[in-house]
Every structure is written in C-alpha cells, then in structure tokens.
Amino acid sequence: MVEEAESSRLSGAAVRLELAGDRMAVLAAIRSDLGPDKPLGGQRIALCGHVTAETAVQVNTLVELGAELVWAASSTSTTDDDIAELVRRSGVVVHGRRGMSEEDLRLGALAALRAWPQGPTMVLDEGAVMIRALHGELADVPAPVLASEKTPDGLTVLEDLDKLRFPVVKSDESFGKHAVDNPHGTAQSLVETIATVSGRMLAGKVFVVAGYGRVGTGVAAKARGLGARVIVTEVDATRALLAVLDGFEVLPMAKAAAVGDFFCTVTGAAGVIHREHFAVMKSGAVLANGGHLPVELDVAALYGMTKRQPLSPQGTEILELDDGRKLTLLGGGNIVNLAAGRGNASEVMDVTFASQVLALLNVLPQASALAPGLHPLPPECDEYVARALASSLGIDLSADEDS
C-alpha cells in the first residue's frame, strides 16, 4: 500500500511537471535553439530556488544544455517533495524537504556549494543565500566564474557587501521580472490566493497594499479590478505619488490598519505590520505576506497577542485577541501564494527563469574578463524572452510585406 501511494503521488508530480513544461514556452525555445550544442557543457551549477514543478523545468533545461547541477531549496514552506524525488531520480542532487528548519535550508545551500571539490563554476541564487555564503563561511570555496541573482531582496544584500569576489548578473532587473512576473504574474497569484484561501469576497472591502513597487502596483490594480477599495501604504515619496496618480488612496499604516479588511505586504522590509497595527485592526481582518522573506508581518508579536487555532489545510489560522476580535493569518506569514496557494502560473515563472538561463549563456563567454561585482543583464536576453513569449501568445512580429 505504501509503494502504491508513493507511485500515485509521483505519477501526479510527473503530470504537474509535464504541464509546467508545456506552458513554459521560452525555456522550450532555449532548449530547441541551443540544446544540441550543449553550451553549458562542463559547467558545475549550484542553484538555490523554490522546489516546484516550474523550477524543475529550469533545472531540466540547464541539464539539457550540458550542465551538471545541484539544487538547494530556498524555502521551508514551498518544497514539493514529490517533484524533488522525481528530479533526484533523473540524476540531479536536491537538498530540501517540506517543513525543514531554516537551519536545514542553510545547510542545504552550503552542501550544494561544496558538492564539488573545486567548487561550482556558476551559481543561480535566490535571496543571495549562496553568494553571501561564498563571502562568509565558505570563503575558502573557489570563486565561481559567474553568478546570477533573481530577487530584489538578494540584490539589496549584495549591494551592501563590501566587495564581491566574482561577477554577478542582476537577472532580477529583466523584462520578464519588471513587465510580466511582478505586476501581472505574482500580483495575480497573490490576489487569487488571498481571495481563495480566506474564502472572502473582495468586492466592497478595503484592501490595504503595503508597498507600491513592481508587485504592489499589480496587486493594487487587480484588487481594484475585483471591486475592492484599495489603500496603499508607502514610505517612498515617489512611489506614494505614483499611487495617488494611479487613483489610489495613500495612508500611513497606523491609519490604514484601523480600516482595512485585507492586508498584503509587498515591501521587502521587515516588520511592516507589527504589534501596534494588530492592536487596532477590525475583527475579521485578513493578513498576508507577499514578500520573498517571511519578515514583513511580525508574526511572533501576533502570536504573543492571540490565542491560536490549528492551521487549516488551506493554510489559514484564526487568531483571537483578548477582547474577542479575530484576525486571519494566511500561510503563517510566509510568502502566501507559495505557502498557501498554487504559486505563480507556469508562464510567469518561464520568463523569469529563462532570463536567468540566458544571463549565464550570454555572459559566460566574456565572464573571465568581467570585474567582480554586479553587472546588468545583457539587452539581448530581454529581446529573446520578449520574442519567444510573443510568439507563444500568437503575436505576429513579421514585417509588413507592403511596408
């Protein structure tokens, strides 16, 4: 019976992986165009990322391009154990399991970097976990030829480092992340998850978006599209002004906390919603973190103020304060669309992961001549992604024969 159950789970994971692959047209184009030439032959890649079907498609693409790869999970709440097992059976080492501790995550990333005696030649990072380790406790590991970081949080960490040992491509600053992933894909996924998991209607409710960056603009627009009255909280004057010009009300969190029905944080900063805010919220308020790291909601303070009901299978906790008010926490304060929802659509992750792969392919030939430090994504990467995505959407980019 145990073997049958495992076989059934793995069969389901194989279907999810196949469907993700079918929907990730840009990575498919890369495999078709470049796979036969094995441009990453001989490269040793350490990858840090969420263990999902979509990341598995990226991993399979890198392997098909000739790379040897070790994968370390980047989150304790998003790992799909069955996808991880499928990838392991294909010959790729995967460090990670759902529910592991933060320390286990750290050790998995270190193990991936130490997988080869001579170190990895490339690093694909998320949150600068691996790159930071190579400048700290693993400074003895030979520097890779090239690395790539795909999150704004990670780039902030790297900008604060005194001196990088090797070149790092800022794949976060790509067309895919700016124009597709953040304002459309991630925003859609966050709003979908909040509505579905909370079981609440958004129309007519007050939806508070903390942060009006690339993701926040999309969350605000999509919540408004579902009929919510949207309030933005923003500490940056330029972003606050843009929110007002886009037709949203802007308030400090101290005031928004008292009127909001839904709260979604997308700032990248810690403690955006904290004890003083929880203390004035309406009963029934729904709390969700949309940032990469589980730090934007002060969950420890919230738990200290409330009686907790068990976490539901849908990823919700009803928390009761001493005065009888009840707050709903989604996903335990982790990034909600991955911890409690289905995550971003495969098409969305396709453009982000493809930008990372193309960064390695395009920069590798001149990597040895690059100075250590942060480097922009080559524009030809964005052009490739845009053309491949446009083609998959049926957009005809051929020149007009009559022109």
pLDDT tens-digit series, residues 269-278: 999 999 999 9
Q: Look-up: residue for tokens 């690093």?
A: 123
pLDDT tens readout for residues 315-333: 899 999 999 999 999 999 9
Task: Kindly tell me if the per-residue pLDDT of 134 is higher than 90.
Answer: yes
220 token code pair: 């605000």
Which residue, among 287, 284, 292, 266, has the nearest Cα to 275 in the 3D structure? Answer: 287
- Using 50, 70 and 90 to split pLDDT, how confident is the model at 339? confident
Q: What's the rounded Cα separation, in Å, for the pair 390 and 397? A: 8
CATH topology of domain 183-339: Rossmann fold (3.40.50)
Q: Residue 69: its pLDDT value, please? A: 98
Q: Residue 9: its pLDDT value, please? A: 87
Identify residue 20 by its one-letter amino acid code: A
Helix axes 25-34, 2-23, angle to 10 degrees: 80
DSSP state of 181: I
Total length of the chain: 403
pLDDT tens readout for residues 246-269: 999 999 999 999 999 999 999 989
Q: Residue 5: its pLDDT value, please? A: 75
Question: What predicted TM-score, i.e. pTM, was given to this entire model?
Answer: 0.84
pLDDT tens readout for residues 149-195: 988 889 989 998 889 999 999 998 888 888 889 999 999 999 999 99
Q: Residue 314: its pLDDT value, please? A: 75
Question: Which CATH architecture does the domain made up of 2-173+344-392 adopt?
Answer: 3-Layer(aba) Sandwich (3.40)
Task: Kindly tell me if the per-residue pLDDT of 206 is higher than 60.
Answer: yes
Range(s) for CATH 3.40.50.1480 in the chain? 2-173+344-392
- Alpha helix locations (H) across 229-345? 237-245, 253-256, 275-278, 299-305, 336-339
Range(s) for CATH 3.40.50.720 in the chain? 183-339
Q: What is the mean pLDDT of the chain?
A: 93
What average pLDDT does range 339-361 have in this prediction? 92
